[in-house]
A and B are shown apart, each in its own frame.
Chain A
């Protein structure tokens, strides 16, 4: 195997095929999920504190993005660093149109733009795999940022847009929550559908997949577009939070890396894997930056190293393994 493929994700993201599930689990999980959703939706009403609301927004933002990211990258094992390109496009669309158009129209426009870019990217990158895909998507995000900057400088003659709209923090919270529910529902549906099966086959071996008659290109692009669509929407929903937006804020590459790390940490191959990464990491970021403002990077780095050594296959698998101690280790 040449250095090409980043088969990396698979190990951290091994799909859970073959784990037997009792039907009652499904019902129980459903009930728990509904209760959790109700609690989450009611949470802003229960707290008057902006801070907790804000933390909730932060959690939801990354939950949507990491879940959406894993929707494509989990099963196909293509690691994308273009996350912030889509996020930024969403945010920018809102910055440009948000003050004049009604919000639903703006969101739809953003969605359209994100999906178009995703399809173009998908078409362009069909031949790429592994680390080449990773760095390509990173380059793409930077290119989009440069082009937006150039456009703003030369055409609109200003960098930095002011966004004054009457969208409250609670509305942002609820919109993100709705996005999270949608992306999880869609993810669950895809896993059960032929599409999900096709994706897993592609992830295991792309050649086998095409021999089986799977239209690999169409499948990959479709999923990449869905994933990108959610990320774009997240950007558009988040934009009203900051009053001021410029390319450096909208296209900050750290966002791509954070999403990647969170999804990998939780386990990108499972539907709830990314959530299992987002929640501890967001809280950890929060605690570290609040308690140790001067040593944040060092502690964060140490935590990352600890994670790599102690939780080799993602949080979710570690949790499940703890629950089922007898499960045999699958060969890597």
Chain B
């Protein structure tokens, strides 16, 4: 019973962490942009979902479906308009990372500022699928279960797509060897934009899902960015499977510590785990050893 509680709780929380991080790992792994505005885009989607659901009376799942193309378009455009000049200037060289940190840091403030102007600093919350589901004698909220299911589904689907499809292979080439990709006729920038947009679609979907069960406010984006960064690095940059594994692991650890040790130490435990993994495997759980 306690075991099932811990497993269910840990996996649903971990699924959330994994899902939040997947978009980031795509953007960072392929497009080489460490998007510090990640959490802000998530919160933006949460607010959009709030408006769609409580003012336009749209079904939350419809909002979720809508979020995918909108999120893709938004971040694809961000890459094309804001980031491409930087990529061009630095020739995707080492300077790109510093420039992208500064640029997305700026973006973070802009997105947050816009949300603040429109919605103010208040907490917002609505609920969807906040009903208990009983599994092996333990209960869990349906909306949290949905997150876990989608994390596994999306993670799996993207993983397969990257391995099996031509486009996926090209994306992987860009991720692994951006300098050589053009030699085999791959348009690096187009694919980077694609990956960046895909990350946008994922984080938008995630924002809609989060809004179904967590209260949110304009200032909360940074919490998700930080969690996502930890998961991305722990899983190995650019690795969807690593992302899923790291997310679930963190969720489980939190759940175990909260139930069996002391809820006050959950976050400390996740950071200990994270630092420990990095020390033992500097490139992350699934990352290739960096030179």
- Which chain A residues have a beta carbon within 8 Å of chain B's beta carbons? 2-12, 124-125, 127-132, 135-136, 138-140, 142-143, 146-147, 149-150, 153-154, 253, 257, 260-261, 264-265, 294-305, 307-309, 312, 332
Q: 3 smallest A-B Cβ distances: which pairs?
A: A304-B106, A7-B94, A297-B113
Give residues 103-133 of B contacting A (CB, 8 Å).
103, 105-114, 116-117
B278 touches A136 (CB 8 A): yes
Give the distance in Å from the alpha carbon of A111 to the alpha carbon of B89 in the complex: 42
Closest CB-CB distance, A126 to chain B, in whole Å? 10
Given A131-B237, A146-B268, A295-B117, residue A303 in contact with residue B106 (CB < 8 A): yes
B110 touches A4 (CB 8 A): no
Closest-by-CB residue of B relative to A135 is B233
Given A3-B238, A7-B97, A8-B94, residue A139 in contact with residue B110 (CB < 8 A): no
Given A301-B109, A301-B110, residue A4 in contact with residue B291 (CB < 8 A): yes
**Which B residues touch A139, using CB under 8 A?**
230, 271, 274-275, 278
B106 touches A128 (CB 8 A): no
A8 touches B106 (CB 8 A): no
Closest CB-CB distance, B262 to chain A, in whole Å? 8
A305 touches B106 (CB 8 A): yes
Closest CB-CB distance, A35 to chain B, in whole Å? 33
**Which A residues touch B106, using CB under 8 A?**
300-305, 307-308
**Which B residues touch A12, using CB under 8 A?**
95, 98
Answer whether residue B34 sits at the interface, using C-beta atoms and an 8 A cutoff: yes
Closest-by-CB residue of B relative to A294 is B117
A312 touches B102 (CB 8 A): no
Answer whether residue B139 sits at the interface, using C-beta atoms and an 8 A cutoff: no
Give residues 156-188 of B contacting A (CB, 8 Å).
175-176
**Which A residues touch B226, using CB under 8 A?**
138, 142, 253
Give the distance in Å from the alpha carbon of A59 to the alpha carbon of B288 in the complex: 43
Give the distance in Å from the alpha carbon of A261 to the alpha carbon of B237 in the complex: 23
A261 touches B105 (CB 8 A): yes
B94 touches A309 (CB 8 A): no
Beyond A153-B264, A253-B222, A301-B106, list 12 extra A-B contacts (CB 8 Å).
A4-B291, A7-B94, A8-B96, A125-B279, A130-B290, A142-B226, A260-B101, A297-B112, A301-B107, A301-B108, A307-B102, A332-B90
**Which A residues touch B282, using CB under 8 A?**
127-129, 132
A143 touches B102 (CB 8 A): no
Sample (27) of A-B pairs whose CB atoms are under 8 Å apart: A3-B237, A4-B283, A5-B290, A6-B98, A7-B94, A8-B95, A8-B101, A12-B98, A129-B282, A131-B97, A132-B283, A135-B229, A136-B278, A138-B229, A140-B275, A146-B268, A146-B271, A150-B262, A153-B264, A260-B101, A264-B98, A297-B113, A298-B114, A298-B117, A307-B106, A308-B86, A312-B99
Answer whether residue B14 sits at the interface, using C-beta atoms and an 8 A cutoff: no
B29 touches A300 (CB 8 A): no
**Which A residues touch B272, using CB under 8 A?**
143
A5 contacts which of B34, B90, B94 (Cβ < 8 Å)? B94
**Which A residues touch B275, using CB under 8 A?**
124, 136, 139-140, 143
A154 touches B264 (CB 8 A): yes
Give the distance in Å from the alpha carbon of A102 to the alpha carbon of B290 in the complex: 48
B107 touches A147 (CB 8 A): no
Closest CB-CB distance, B219 to chain A, in whole Å? 10
A304 touches B237 (CB 8 A): no
Chain B 74-101 near chain A by CB (<8 Å), digits 1 or 0: 0000000010011001110111111101
Closest CB-CB distance, A317 to chain B, in whole Å? 12
B102 touches A295 (CB 8 A): no
Give residues 216-274 of B contacting A (CB, 8 Å).
222, 226, 229-230, 233, 237-238, 262, 264-265, 267-268, 271-272, 274
Answer whether residue B28 sits at the interface, using C-beta atoms and an 8 A cutoff: yes
Closest CB-CB distance, A129 to chain B, in whole Å? 7
**Which A residues touch B29, using CB under 8 A?**
3
Answer whether residue B144 sits at the interface, using C-beta atoms and an 8 A cutoff: no
**Which A residues touch B93, using CB under 8 A?**
7, 11, 332
Closest-by-CB residue of A relative to B275 is A139
B94 contacts which of A11, A127, A253, A264 (Cβ < 8 Å)? A11
A308 touches B113 (CB 8 A): no
B110 contacts which of A6, A11, A138, A302 (Cβ < 8 Å)? A302
B95 contacts which of A4, A297, A332 (Cβ < 8 Å)? A332
Closest-by-CB residue of A relative to B218 is A297
Q: Which of A130, A132, A150 has the most CB of B within 10 A?
A: A132
Closest CB-CB distance, A14 to chain B, in whole Å? 10
**Which B residues touch A143, using CB under 8 A?**
268, 271-272, 275
Answer whether residue B38 sits at the interface, using C-beta atoms and an 8 A cutoff: no
**Which A residues touch B288, using CB under 8 A?**
2
Give the distance in Å from the alpha carbon of A181 to the alpha carbon of B24 in the complex: 41
Give the distance in Å from the alpha carbon of A298 to the alpha carbon of B103 in the complex: 13
Give the distance in Å from the alpha carbon of A4 to the alpha carbon of B106 in the complex: 23
B271 touches A308 (CB 8 A): no
Give the distance in Å from the alpha carbon of A129 to the alpha carbon of B268 in the complex: 23
**Which B residues touch A3, using CB under 8 A?**
28-29, 32, 175, 237-238
B107 touches A305 (CB 8 A): yes
B103 touches A142 (CB 8 A): no
Give the distance in Å from the alpha carbon of A12 to the alpha carbon of B98 in the complex: 8
**Which B residues touch A305, using CB under 8 A?**
82, 103, 106-107, 110
B102 touches A10 (CB 8 A): no
Give the distance in Å from the alpha carbon of A3 to the alpha carbon of B92 in the complex: 12
Give the distance in Å from the alpha carbon of A131 to the alpha carbon of B291 in the complex: 13
Q: Which of A124, A135, A296 has the most CB of B within 10 A?
A: A135
**Which B residues touch A265, using CB under 8 A?**
102
